[in-house]
Chain A
Amino acid sequence: MRQRAVVIGAGIVGSAAARSLAKAGLDVVVVDRSAPASGTTAHGEGNLLVSDKAPGPELVMALAAAAAWPGLVRELEDELGEEFPPLEFEAKGGLVVATTEQGAGPLLAFASRQRAAGVDAREITVEDALRLEPDLNPAITAAVHYPQDSQVQPVAVSEALLASARRHGATVMATTGIVGPILGGSGELVGVRTDRGELRADAVVVAAGPWSGEVARTLGVSVPVRPRRGMVLVTSRMPRRIFHKVYDADYVGAVGSDDASLQTSSVVEATESGNVLIGSSRQQLGFDDRLRVDTISAIATKALRLFPFLSEQPVIRTYGGFRPYMPDHLPLVGPDHRLAGLWHATGHEGAGIGLAPVTGDLLAAMITGTEPLFDPAPYAPSRPSLAPYLEAVA
């Protein structure tokens, strides 16, 4: 009989996992308590970045992802046809700039370490930076160009991955909540009880993003994934005057930070539709989704430091997403060492859109016992850096 997998969560990570597993020949059921692609996936910018990652396991994943994305997009477009909404993949490249004298050294040192780890990180002069971005504030002190950074429309890609999974035989159950585990004779997980009935499975994958902790608890284990909120501003449309993803170098510091209070750094980019997206803040406030004016004010202030010409541009929308944050800053991908049959695919924080496809492939390789593209050990729930937090939560 075919192996069966239940994937909990139909965001981009769950959809990618479902597609990888279905393509590997498994019988896949995707369950979501709401609708596909409407949680964290629908509240981010669609970043596929290497620029913000320090050398280490996350960068290994990001480099594999950067290499895989162009082929994946072509594959999905061929498979789903012209009528499918556009995926808006754009290999626009990133431009990271320092805005202070003190900031220049750390940025260049960071880029040099990334280069050693295989990132295409090009130190360029301020003049060259202004040639790439003519409207950039000329008061910048250092610049690094990252041609591998790119962007997609995250919801369209997520729906495409799910549609492709369906074409490979997966089924999707929306508005279905998880009620509890079904355990086998030796305490192993053999399925889940949902509010629409029981689902038996050889592998249960929790891909519920920042809600993964809640789902795992329902199944009997703890996972220290926490919501970290990020706010993005959207302007009205304008003629294209911003051509790359442009960040100030503070971004690099904020991603890896443990500080729960507000942090912002500018990430400014134009989209194909003509809107400019401005991010982003990082704040740990639980699942509180109320608007905080001081947060979006701080984002606007920093964005204007990069692109002063945006001052008269109307802001028409803001959205905040909850990113799945891990205390040791690494994604959680692999088998749960405490409950056989349970697998995790979460914890990518702000990088989940970019890392989703390789996460799906890695997981499918482990579940089917084939050779993974890279070593899965650093992302395993049993990794040493996570041990103190597992105990703390349990």
Chain B
Amino acid sequence: MGARAVPAGEDPIRPDAAGTVTIRVDGLEVSGIDGQSIAGVLMASDRLELRRTARGDRPRGVFCGIGVCFDCIVEVNGVHDVRACQRRAHDGDTVITTGDGARRSGAVS
């Protein structure tokens, strides 16, 4: 139960079949559909949490979905503060979801 990609057979708008992309998230390979955002790839497998907050150690995921709230920031290919809902996944992307800016190496207690 939770978030998922609409199964092809159930989708009333029947999108054409598309290629797959495979990204590595916190060391694990995750596959998605070509053209999906990084957030979309993760949510398709019901993964909602994209980081923990610096102060309260609270989980955060996609909130606004349109690039405004920055709740979904992750590190992509070594570059941090990338909004997972806005960045399209490319084959071979390395994504780290462990924390937002100040948390990356436990700087904020």
Contact = CB atoms under 8 A, between A and B. Distances in A.
Interface size grouping (class) on chain A: under 10
Interface stretch (B14-22, B26-34, B56-64, B96-104): B96-104
A274 interface: yes
B48 interface: no
Given A274-B101, A274-B102, A239 B107 contact: yes
A239 B79 contact: no
B81 A274 contact: no
Interface in A221-255: 236-240
A239 B105 contact: yes
Contact of B54 (A237, A312, A314): A237
B81 A314 contact: yes
Interface in A310-340: 312, 314
Given A274-B54, A274-B107, A274-B108, A237 B79 contact: no
A240 B107 CA distance: 6
B79 A238 contact: no
A236 B101 contact: yes
A239 B80 contact: no
B9 interface: no
Contacts of A236: 81, 101
A273 interface: yes
A274 B102 CA distance: 6
A239 B106 CA distance: 7
Interface in B76-109: 79-81, 100-108
Contacts of B105: 239
A86 to B, nearest CB: 13
Interface in A271-330: 273-274, 312, 314
Nearest to A272: B108
A238 B108 CA distance: 9
B81 A239 contact: no
A240 B101 CA distance: 10
Nearest to B99: A239
Contacts of B79: 312
Interface of A: 236-240, 273-274, 312, 314
Given A237-B108, A239-B103, 5 more contacts: A236-B81, A237-B101, A238-B104, A239-B102, A274-B108
24 contacts: A236-B81, A236-B101, A237-B54, A237-B100, A237-B101, A237-B102, A237-B108, A238-B80, A238-B104, A238-B107, A239-B102, A239-B103, A239-B104, A239-B105, A239-B106, A239-B107, A239-B108, A240-B107, A274-B54, A274-B102, A274-B107, A274-B108, A312-B79, A312-B80
